[in-house]
Amino acid sequence: MLPTHLPDPELFLPGTGEPALRWGLIGPGWIAGKFVGAAHAHTAQRFTAVASRSLGRASSFAAAHGIENALDSYEALVAHPEVDVVYVATPQSQHLELGLLAIAAGKHVLIEKPLALTADEAQQLADAARAAGVLAMEAMWSRYLPQTSVVRQLLDDGALGTVDQVHADHGQAIPADPQHRLYRPELGGGALLDLGIYPLQFDSMVLGAPTAVTAVGGMTETGVDAFSTLVLSHGKDAQSTVTTTMLTNTPTRASISGSVARVEFESFFYTPSSFRLLANNPNDPTGGTSLEFTDTSGLRLFAALSWEATALARFVGEGRTESPLHTLDETVSILATIDSAKAQLDDAHGTRSTGVDSTHGVTVDA
């Protein structure tokens, strides 16, 4: 039986007791511009410094976003007295080094997804942050969206019954350029770390860590994963399917199926989106077979990055050293799943030069 109405989302609204932190940025690229713009427009958080290896690039970014200090040294930024929290938005190959740099300077740190290249690297960051008593958090903005709050409450209330299956998909047509960061193994390229992490974190939020991972897929000529399908076992009674690709655009939808009801997200499920809660029984005695959630906050697309900025500030104000909605242990676990999948794909690529590996079923390029 469906509930008569959906729960209200628990929102990370600005001005609800969180401290107004001073932020420093390392890596003034595209996503950094979106995040800084959202934070300045929709939160009480302010960026006071930006650092790049190129002072000209840092200065241009600072001028465009009203940031007072432009620096050409990462060390100078993490040591700056007017920086409380460091946002690391460089390629993921630098996340471990720069995250540790910020933590060693006693700064809180928000690191773009993925937190690191591997579960082992992520564990190093978690251990360092805990030892230093500072907050470390992966910039997984999906966890702080209004829709996620509602789904989490539905799961906690048992509105779906026993969850049996999760399906989630994310594919984007990335230009087939060997110089593109996703095609470069030395920068941590590949579909799984950059795109697949969204459906994987969705599955983890619903069902937790998988008990077994089976991966099939293919590699690019540059040696990174191009596409894959992961079948995740969650004990003997639940199973998930996660697909990702950087060769084509896909519907990028997600669903959660339970014994009582299911949730179906519209396209781009990891961004501000709508979903439907549908009863398994079409003759539901409540008189309705579905309920629909629509985000009415007005924060669309990347403006919604602001939710995670306020969330981090609230967690800091509460004295936390990690996000209760996306813990460091869970972040490490998700990267362990990616490690397992990548190992299967790499193994198939290394043991067979063309065709389909009969063990793993992975199509690889010659």
Domain 146-298+326-364 belongs to what architecture? 2-Layer Sandwich (3.30)
**What is the structure's pLDDT at 283?**
63
CA-to-CA dists, residue 196 to 157, 170, 339, 349, angstroms:
28, 6, 12, 19
- Report the pLDDT averaged over residues 178-189: 94
| Token pair of 69 as six digits | 């200090």
**What is the structure's pLDDT at 361?**
30
pLDDT band at 3 (very low <50, low <70, confident <90, very high): confident
Residues in the chain: 366
Is 156's pLDDT higher than 50? yes
Those residues with Cβ within 8 angstroms of residue 185's Cβ, 6 or more apart along the chain or in another chain: 222, 223, 224
As beta bridge partners, residue 213 has 232
pLDDT band at 195 (very low <50, low <70, confident <90, very high): very high
Percent of the chain's residues with pLDDT above 70 = 94
Tell me which residues are annotated as active site: 113
pLDDT band at 308 (very low <50, low <70, confident <90, very high): very high
Is 166's pLDDT higher than 90? yes
pLDDT band at 77 (very low <50, low <70, confident <90, very high): very high
Q: Rounded to an integer, what distance in angstroms lies between the CA atom of residue 33 and that of residue 39?
A: 10
Percent of the chain's residues with pLDDT above 90 = 90
Is 287's pLDDT higher than 50? no
- Report the pLDDT averaged over residues 262-287: 85
Count other C-beta atoms under 10 Å from residue 237's C-beta: 9
**What is the structure's pLDDT at 350?**
76
**What is the structure's pLDDT at 284?**
56
pLDDT band at 348 (very low <50, low <70, confident <90, very high): confident
As beta bridge partners, residue 109 has 86, 136
| Token pair of 284 as six digits | 């539901």
- Report the pLDDT averaged over residues 12-29: 97
**What is the structure's pLDDT at 103?**
98
* Angle of CA points 202, 208, 211, to nearest 5°: 120
CB 255 within 8 A of CB 275: no
CA-to-CA dists, residue 175 to 37, 113, 226, 350, angstroms:
26, 21, 12, 25
Is 238's pLDDT higher than 90? yes
**What is the structure's pLDDT at 349?**
73
CATH class of 22-142: alpha beta
**What is the structure's pLDDT at 90?**
97
pLDDT in tens, 321-347: 999 999 999 999 999 999 999 999 998
pLDDT in tens, 99-121: 999 999 999 999 999 999 999 99
**What is the structure's pLDDT at 281?**
75
**What is the structure's pLDDT at 366?**
20
What is the average pLDDT value for the chain, to the nearest integer? Answer: 93
Q: Rounded to an integer, what distance in angstroms lies between the CA atom of residue 96 and that of residue 116?
A: 6
- SS3 string, the chain, reads CCCCCCCCCCCCCCCCCCCCCEEEEECCCHHHHHHHHHHHHHCCCEEEEEECCCHHHHHHHHHHHCCCEEECCHHHHHCCCCCCEEEECCCHHHHHHHHHHHHHCCCEEEEECCCCCCHHHHHHHHHHHHHHCCCEEEECHHHHCHHHHHHHHHHHCCCCCCEEEEEEEEECCCCCCCCCHHHCHHHCCCHHHHHHHHHHHHHHHHHCCCCEEEEEEEECCCCCEEEEEEEEEECCCEEEEEEEECCCCCCCCEEEEECCEEEEECCCCCCCCCEEEEECCCCCCCCCCEEEECCCCCCCHHHHHHHHHHHHHHHHHCCCCCECCECHHHHHHHHHHHHHHHHHHHHHHHHCCCEECCCCCCEECC
Angle between helix axes 95-104 and 119-132 (nearest 10 degrees) is 10
**What is the structure's pLDDT at 282?**
61
Q: Rounded to an integer, what distance in angstroms lies between the CA atom of residue 143 and that of residue 280?
A: 26
Could you state, in order of their start, the residue ranges of all structural domains in the chain?
22-142, 146-298+326-364
**What is the structure's pLDDT at 10?**
94
